[in-house]
Amino acid sequence: TYTRIYQNPLPIPPVKQPKQIITNPVTGQNIQYYEIEIKSFIQQVYPNKPATSLVGYDGISPGPTFIIPRGTESVVRFINNAEQASSIHLHGSPSRAPFDGWAEDVTSPGQYKDYYYPNYESARLLWYHDHAIHITAENAYFGQAGAYIITDPAEDALGLPSGYGQFDIPLILSSKFYNENAQLTGVVGEDTNLWGDIIHVNGQPWPFLNVQPRKYRFRFLNSAVSRNFGLYFVKTTATNTKLPFKVIASDSGLLTGPVTTPQLIVAVAERYEIVFDFSAYAGQQIELRNLDDGAGIGTDEDFDDTDKVMKFVVSNTPVTDPSTVPSILRQVPFPPSTNGIDHHFRFHRSNSEWLINNVGFSDANNRILANVPRGTVEIWELENGSGGWTHPIHVHLVDFRVLARWDSENGRAVEPYEAAGLKDVVWLAKGESALVEAHYTPWNGVYMFHCHNLIHEDQDMMGAFNVTNLPN
Ligand code: C2O
Ligand code: CU
């Protein structure tokens, strides 16, 4: 057991600085060049036990945060000085296929690879993480994940709470198991799910954060291997009353307008950004809690303290708060509408294997499950065909609109905060199916789509689609 709940401060990942500015020989524009070293390190997670061995980007976990202005290209050299192969995926970026972290495109220990990112997308929270074939879960679990923020002037002009680490704070969630020597356990050989009993935010179990009585922007990223969160805020003195807050952005950036909600489901790999206003709670303590059982609609296994996430200690000193949350945030570029279902993918378990339409990623001759003419808008039906399990489904390259969700038993609809923006992950809870609509641009290439429960992904619940030139 971990006895220091809410006793350690929330760490903020440092901002990654470019090593050099280089000039793109074709466009004449500046490119920010970075170097990241993947290496092992130790961190004191349990106070009276040995330090925990981890492996992370620049030797920290989460890795350093990139903050990049829209339209500035970047090249990141990932130098693998760890003991295992790596492949790096910038999740949410329409990267060219050779820089997308294809699972078999691994960099061995002692080697490096330069990844090029276009960064032309509107402001949003992306994340970079390992994607190496069959060891993604292990690599991510031991620390290979970090935040990558794109900013843009349109978002800056809105007057949202701002200042990285000050009033704009990443909250990167994960959930892990440790053995009696405080070493990570549970990932090697696991073939269904790794729930974890210790909840971390930015690498620290159950931290606290001192805040002022004003508005804060929090950027949630669920980097857990399997655990899904159903987040809500309560006063420590009244834990039955969920306090409302505003969701302002999802996987692909700002929503059309803020969605006020008492709780927010953040499945594996999803990002949601919220504004929480502490001004009514001066001098009080607010807890961020987690609904039991995978947001109450999943199958996640619960432990003593998995209903807790972190605590906010609100100061008593009044402050002026210049920030606002406008009622219109942006015109979301939803794909032009189309109709008819172009592809139907069933995510299921058969003969102890996690598969899509009976195919696993190891089946190299059959794993391209769709050919998509470049420039077309397609609707895909994603079906959870695995009974009691749940699956967060991620499609590389594109942002999609969640058009519909249904379920033979409960009929959970698309959540209002899902419908108001674009996404790249949709969670299929027990018995659920969803329709997602995306514009397959701008590049040709073979890209992956998969379940982002990393145990399922590693064990083959992954396929590919091939974006090709329009047929003549
Ligand atoms: Cu975040 Cu293919 O992954
Ligand atoms: Cu899955």
Taking CA atoms, 202 is separated from 7, 13, 50, 63, 259, in Å, by 15, 7, 20, 9, 25
Closest by alpha carbon to 32, among 151, 122, 155?
151
For ligand 1, what atom is nearest to the CA of residue 127?
A: 1
Nearest protein Cα to ligand 1, atom 3:
91
Q: Please determine, for residue 402, whether its predicted confidence score (pLDDT) is greater than 90.
A: yes
Kindly give, in sequence order, each residue whose CB lies less than 8 Å from that of residue 134, ignoring residues fewer than 6 positions away: 458, 459
Q: Rounded to an integer, what distance in angstroms lies between the CA atom of residue 288 and that of residue 311?
A: 6
Closest by alpha carbon to 412, among 379, 438, 390, 437?
390
Q: Is 396 in the pocket of ligand 1 (CB under 6 A)?
A: yes
Please give the pLDDT value at position 472: 46
Q: How confident is the model at residue 416 (pLDDT cuts 50, 70, 90)?
A: very high
Q: Please determine, for residue 110, whether its predicted confidence score (pLDDT) is greater than 80.
A: yes
Q: Is 394 in the pocket of ligand 1 (CB under 6 A)?
A: yes
Residue 209 C-alpha to ligand 2 middle, in angstroms?
A: 33
Mean pLDDT for 394-415 is 91
Mean pLDDT for 436-444 is 97
Q: Is 456 in the pocket of ligand 1 (CB under 6 A)?
A: no
Q: Is 88 in the pocket of ligand 1 (CB under 6 A)?
A: no
CB 103 within 8 A of CB 50: no
Please give the pLDDT value at position 471: 62
330 three-state secondary structure: coil
- 253-273 residue pLDDT tens: 999 999 999 999 999 999 999
Q: Rounded to an integer, what distance in angstroms lies between the CA atom of residue 260 and that of residue 257?
A: 10
- 304-331 residue pLDDT tens: 999 999 999 999 999 999 999 999 999 9
Q: Rounded to an integer, what distance in angstroms lies between the CA atom of residue 8 and that of residue 208?
A: 6
- 361-382 residue pLDDT tens: 999 999 999 999 999 999 999 9
Q: How confident is the model at residue 388 (pLDDT cuts 50, 70, 90)?
A: confident
Number of neighbouring beta carbons within 10 Å of residue 76: 24
For ligand 1, what atom is nearest to the CA of residue 103?
A: 2
Number of neighbouring beta carbons within 10 Å of residue 244: 12
Residue 457 C-alpha to ligand 2 middle, in angstroms?
A: 7
Please give the pLDDT value at position 375: 94
Q: Is 160 in the pocket of ligand 1 (CB under 6 A)?
A: no
For ligand 1, what atom is nearest to the CA of residue 92?
A: 1
Query: Which residues are near ligand 2, the ion (C-beta closer than 5 Å)?
Result: 391, 451, 453, 456
Mean pLDDT for 442-462 is 97
Please give the pLDDT value at position 335: 95
Residue 87 C-alpha to ligand 1 middle, in angstroms?
A: 11
Mean pLDDT for 187-199 is 95
Strand blocks (E) in 11-157: 20-23, 30-43, 52-57, 63-69, 73-80, 88-91, 112-117, 124-130, 145-151
Q: How confident is the model at residue 190 (pLDDT cuts 50, 70, 90)?
A: very high
ipTM score for this prediction:
0.98
For ligand 1, what atom is nearest to the CA of residue 450?
A: 2
Amino acid at 259: V
Residue 80 C-alpha to ligand 2 middle, in angstroms?
A: 28
Nearest protein Cα to ligand 1, atom 1:
91
Mean pLDDT computed over every residue of the chain:
96
Q: Please determine, for residue 142, whether its predicted confidence score (pLDDT) is greater than 90.
A: yes
